[in-house]
Amino acid sequence: MERKVITIYHGPQHPGITGNMSVELDLMGETITRARTHVGYLHRGFEKLIERRTIIQAFTIVCRICVPEPDPNEANFALAVERLAGIEVSERASYIRVMVLEMARLGAQLLWMAGQSGSVGLGTVGQWSIYDRDLILDLFEQLTGGRVYHMYIYPGGVRRELPDGFLERLSALLDYLQKRLDAYDRLFFDNASFQKRAIGVGVVRGEEVLRRGFSGQVLRGCGFARDLRRDNPYLLYDQLEFDIPTQSAGDVYARALVRRAEMRESIRILRQVIAQMPEEGAIMQKLPKHRKFTLPKEDTYVAVESARGEFGYYMAGDGSEMIRRMQVKGPSLIHAFSLLEPLLVGEELSNVALIMNSLGICPPEIER
Amino acid sequence: MKFELKNSLAPLSALSKIFEHPQTLCYPEVKSETVSGYRGFHINDLSTCIGCANCQDVCMNEAIDMIAIDKDKNPKNNSGCIPRIDYGRCCWCSLCTDVCPPDSLKLESECIWADDDANRFLYQPKDKPC
Amino acid sequence: MMSYLEEHYELIHKTPRLFALHVTREQLLDTLHQITTHTSFDTLSQLTCTDWIEEERFELGYMLTNALRSHNLMLKCSIARDKVTMPSLALLFAQAEVMERELHEMFGIGFEGNETLYDFALEGWCDIPPMRREFDTLAYVNAHYDFREGREDNLDVKEEIKKRKAAAKSAKETPSGA
């Protein structure tokens, strides 16, 4: 029988694609023989816009680089500006930043769970986890005034003082989420239908994964305990206790199990932050010449661990009020091209959404 | 890995939710609680606004116009101008309220405005004391 | 690891975990080869480009990370802004392919040996590469988009203050009833 190769576009309008991007697939029957990633549906030119804005104006743009988890971008931007300008941040502000980053990480993992479960047809899990994420967003709303884009971590500190009773409410939410995680185990992680779909699919393995620049759950899912919070610590992560969960199988299920354990680690970190945060202290170090604030002609590179991998910012100042160059590298740039394209070859069409969700591919950070 | 019967049956525990009260709100009969400090629409206390245009200068979206005031409400307003915001451009970053010298410009928790013409989204902040 | 770099190159210590060194375009491949074989900096994690238009050069930054992800080393390479191509690193690092593709589109830098330098985020773009400093975003926007009507009553606050002062002055000089 003659077998014909057909080409289809998976996305950008497709519920199984993670955001506004598309994968061009050559199919022989149900099997993928070639995959090519296409981006460009979401290019907003943030890096160019930043060149025309003063530093405090540029600060409001960076959170828009990643919708599910905007805070690592704010933290990166603030850390880079502070390093170039030599600004020290108070201990209390650093604790608040860690708290915001971990809350965002928890929220992003819950959002990932909705996508991953949706890709195998388990709709109920998504409804639950989106609800639980909304409870985190409620806290963000009280803290920062915004649900999704917080614009809170500011060069020099954070923008607002904690509202009254905030830490108690956070603590209560953590108790609730801890219980919910057990429910998610029953409903999703231990679910036989998810295991059947996820085990042995999308396997990333081998020594060369480190050389190829992968990060996040892709590395931890194949046995490498790499986490910038531990390896290249920023803020106060070197003073907090947490484990880096790993799995060895390297498949979709291994990455899901890593994320399951990471949610518990985030809760553990948040509990330490609540216990250790100093009650008094400045939250903001005033920028010198606030609106006419300048950066020296130097450059630096900062990176933080987001919920999906390494977020790196390169920043160069030129002595003026504008930033000469700010270049963002999200984990998806590498994952969506040099990892996804070969990984999809040989897989079935129905596994594309499963694999993309598991790699945490998010186009806004590819095109900025 | 061995697939156990337990793993097939455990998800059915979700069925117990059938007997629980829904978690969703029945909007618009029931509204979620408003949060103080939410970044919603602008309010401007005209009795303290000095018309300095700091908000216009800091706005990176060029969303703010300074327009002539009908009747002077603050003798210290040297320019006789007050801000008006283009909500087609505003990103609610609240930098304008951060740089306001008399703290007259603020954001309130009200945040719903529906219209069928996008060109009408020029918002005159409500004159409310903060 | 550091001793090899200290011995052979002029290393700039930016922070305890971030180093930089300058290389020329000709030295780049050789230096990368030496560093990846003799030290643990064997991962390319970012490829950056900064346009120093007043000095008529692009500064490329090859950000290397070690296997433990604990230190970063940046190789900086200045090239002329026009008609200069760089050797592609696609054979050395698979991830370099897409990074070079992006810089090719945004800055117009050619990479010899990279077969994938077609459209990345922009589609059918025939203007100058948009991240070059001479590309004026404001001029582009003014040429291609309309502004919302109804905002013409915007006033220049400095002018208004001057006007008001002048009016107050003239009101003083010509007292009412005179």
- C160/B80 Cβ within 8 A: yes
pLDDT band at A87 (very low <50, low <70, confident <90, very high): confident
Instruction: Residue window 124-153, chain A: list those with CB within 8 Å of chain C.
Output: none
Burial class (CB in 10 A: 0-12, 13-18, 19+), B109: middle
Higher pLDDT, A111 or A282: A111
Give the tokens for residue A11. 């996305």
pLDDT band at C127 (very low <50, low <70, confident <90, very high): confident
Domains in chain A (CATH in brackets) are 47-332 (1.10.645.10)
ipTM of the prediction greater than 0.90, yes or no: no
Q: Hey, of B81, B86, B119, which one would you mutate to test binding to chain C, going by the most C CBs within 10 A of its CB? A: B81
- Taking contacts as CB-CB distances below 8 angstroms, the residues of chain A near B60 are 53, 57-58, 60-61
Q: Quick one: C132 exposed, middle or buried, by C-beta within 10 A (0-12, 13-18, 19+)? A: middle
How many angstroms separate the CA atoms of A70 and A307, rounded? 10
With CB atoms and an 8 Å threshold, state whether A58 touches B60. yes
Say which range, A88-92, C32-36, C109-113, C166-170, has the weakest mean pLDDT: C166-170
Edge-to-edge strand ranges of the sheet holding C12-15: C12-15, C18-23, C72-80, C57-66, C41-52
DSSP SS3 for C13: strand
Question: Ranked by mean pLDDT, which of A89-98, A205-214, C163-172 comes out on top?
Answer: A89-98
Q: How many helices (H) and strands (E) does chain A have?
A: 15, 8
Enumerate the residues of chain A whose CB falls inside 8 A of the CB of residue B37.
Answer: 142, 145, 160, 163
How far apart are the two ends of chain A, measured CA to CA in Å? 46
Q: What is the pLDDT of residues A193-240, one digit of tens each?
A: 888 888 888 888 877 888 888 888 998 998 888 888 888 888 888 889
* pLDDT beyond 70 at C79: yes
At the topology level, CATH places domain B35-123 in Alpha-Beta Plaits (3.30.70)
pLDDT in the model for residue A10:
87
Question: Which of B11, B14, B37 is the closest to A145 by Cβ?
Answer: B37
How high is the pLDDT of residue A288?
67
Average pLDDT of the residues in C129-155: 85
Confidence band for C178, pLDDT divided at 50, 70 and 90: very low
| Model confidence at A267: pLDDT above 90 | yes
Q: Would you say residue A367 has pLDDT above 90?
A: no
Structure tokens at C126: 């025939």
Low-confidence ranges of chain B (pLDDT < 70): 1-3, 130
Locate the chain B residue with the closest alpha carbon to A189: B7
Roughly how many angstroms between the first and final C-alpha of chain C, as a whole number?
Answer: 90
CA nearest A158: which of A34, A48, A74, A229?
A74
CA atoms within 13 A on the CB side of A260: 20
CB contact under 8 A, A291 and B10: no
The mean pLDDT of C6-12, rounded to a whole number, is 79
Which chains sit next to C, with 3 or more Cβ pairs under 8 A?
A, B
Residue C175: band (very low, low, confident or very high) from pLDDT cuts 50, 70, 90? low
Question: Do B92 and A146 make contact, defined as CB atoms within 8 angstroms?
Answer: yes
**In Å, how far is A190's CA from the nearest CA of chain B?**
6
State chain A's mean pLDDT as an integer: 88
Partners of B89 on chain C (C-beta within 8 Å) are 148
DSSP states of A198-261 = HTTSS---STHHHHTT--THHHHTTT----HHHHS--TTGGGS-------SS-SHHHHHHHHHH
| Binary contact (A213, C67; C-beta < 8 A) | no
Average pLDDT over residues A164-176: 91
State the pLDDT at residue A106.
93
User: Over pLDDT 90: what percentage of chain A?
Assistant: 26
Query: Which are the contacts of C88, defined by CB distance < 8 A and separation ≥ 6?
Result: C96, C97, C100, C111, C112, C113, C114
Cα distance between residue B72 and residue B66, in whole Å: 14
Contact B39 A146 (CB under 8 A): yes
On chain C, the residues whose CB falls within 8 A of the CB of A43 are 121-122
* Average pLDDT rounded to a whole number, residues A128-143: 91
Say yes or no for a CB contact (<8 Å) between A199 and B14.
no
Answer whether A57 sits within 8 Å of B10, measured CB to CB.
Answer: no
Q: Output the pLDDT for position A161.
A: 86
Per 3-state DSSP, chain C is made up of helix, strand and coil in percentages (nearest 5) of 35, 25, 40
Q: What is the pLDDT of residue A271?
A: 92
Question: Across the interface, do A291 and B58 touch by the CB < 8 Å criterion?
Answer: yes
B7 interaction partners in chain A (CB closer than 8 Å): 190-192, 195
What domains lie within chain C, and their CATH numbers? 2-148 (3.30.460.80)
Q: C10: pLDDT confidence band, cut at 50, 70 and 90?
A: confident
Residue extents of the structural domains in chain B: 35-123
Chains A and C: how many Cβ contacts under 8 Å? Answer: 101
Picking from A192-206, A285-299, A331-345, B112-126, which range would have the lowest pLDDT averaged per residue? A285-299
pLDDT at A159 over 80: yes
Cα dihedral A23/A30/A216/A104 (nearest 10) = 70
Mean pLDDT, residues A271-296: 81
Interface probe with B: pick from A120, A291, A322, most Cβ of B within 10 Å: A291
Mean pLDDT of A336-355: 89
C44 vs A283, higher pLDDT = C44
